[in-house]
């Protein structure tokens, strides 16, 4: 089965506000997908539904043919927009936590990336900058051997010098049977690693296409098309 994620008439309402409105979407394996849209478009809501942090109001969402639950959490690796580790923790504490909690976590892979980025495993989060904390969290997420990686603004607080390495880390740390869903505002910075893009606005999917098709058919970059579609 090549379908990794399927949404069928997926709807999420918060009271009278509809955050996602009858979304129909299929994400196959082996793709890096940009989830792109203005603030309040429904990106984070969709990611939280995928991770079982929210429940649909209507419709269905399936990962490997299963609705989000304990079994899908074993195959989805999630990077939230905000750091959720306690500030008193050392990097070694986080490594131990991931080793204990996730059977697919590779400590060797994580330690190699930490070393490459010059992050001391004995350091406490309280002594780190926001960008370094985000690097640590991303390293942990990408050191799992998951089927689906959901990354919510993975490079938003990271210095430009580290972005290329982090994007290369994303590319090199998932296999052909997995996919990566990246929500970001920094489109030009990630465009070169994307296979597909999803444009979402007001809870509706405006576009779901391959990057190559956009360049061939529209004659412009994803960033340029995004600015055109969502021009104020």
Nearest-angstrom CA–CA distance, 142 and 158: 16
What's residue 116's pLDDT? 87
Number of other CB atoms surrounding residue 171 within 10 Å: 13
The tokens for 225 are 């098309």
What's residue 121's pLDDT? 94
Query: Structural domain boundaries of the chain?
Result: 3-85+147-229
What's residue 81's pLDDT? 80
Domain range 3-85+147-229, CATH class: alpha beta
Reported as a pLDDT band with limits 50, 70 and 90, residue 130 is: confident
| Cβ atoms 169, 4 nearer than 8 A | no
Interval 166-189: pLDDT, tens: 777 777 766 778 999 999 888 888
**For residue 165, pLDDT beyond 80:** no
Instruction: Judge residue 140's burial from the number of C-beta atoms within 10 Å of its C-beta, 0-12 exposed, 13-18 middle, 19 or more buried.
Output: buried
Mean pLDDT over 187-198 rounds to 89
Mean pLDDT over 50-61 rounds to 95
What's residue 200's pLDDT? 94
| Cβ atoms 181, 7 nearer than 8 A | no
**For residue 69, pLDDT beyond 80:** yes
Instruction: Judge residue 159's burial from the number of C-beta atoms within 10 Å of its C-beta, 0-12 exposed, 13-18 middle, 19 or more buried.
Output: exposed
**For residue 220, pLDDT beyond 70:** yes
**For residue 141, pLDDT beyond 60:** yes
């Amino acid at each position: 089965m090549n379908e990794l994620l399927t949404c069928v008439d997926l709807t999420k309402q918060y009271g009278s506000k509809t955050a996602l409105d009858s979304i129909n979407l299929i994400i196959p394996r082996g793709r890096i997908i940009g989830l792109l849209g203005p603030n309040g478009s429904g990106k984070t809501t969709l990611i939280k539904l995928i991770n079982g942090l929210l429940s649909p109001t209507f419709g269905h969402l399936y990962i490997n043919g299963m609705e989000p639950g304990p079994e899908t959490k074993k195959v989805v690796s999630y990077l939230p927009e905000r750091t959720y580790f306690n500030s008193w923790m050392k990097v070694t504490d986080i490594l131990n936590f991931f080793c204990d909690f996730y059977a697919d976590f590779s400590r060797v892979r994580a330690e190699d990336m930490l070393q490459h980025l010059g992050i001391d495993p004995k350091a406490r989060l309280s002594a780190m900058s926001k960008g370094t904390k985000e690097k640590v969290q991303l390293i942990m997420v990408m050191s799992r051997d998951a089927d689906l990686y959901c990354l919510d603004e993975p490079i938003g607080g990271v210095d430009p010098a580290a972005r290329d390495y982090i994007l290369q880390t994303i590319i090199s740390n998932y296999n052909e049977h997995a996919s990566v869903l990246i929500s970001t505002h920094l489109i030009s910075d990630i465009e070169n690693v994307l296979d597909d893009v999803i444009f979402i606005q007001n809870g509706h999917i405006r576009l779901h296409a391959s990057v190559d098709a956009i360049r061939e058919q529209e004659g412009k970059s994803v960033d340029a098309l995004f600015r055109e579609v969502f021009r104020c």
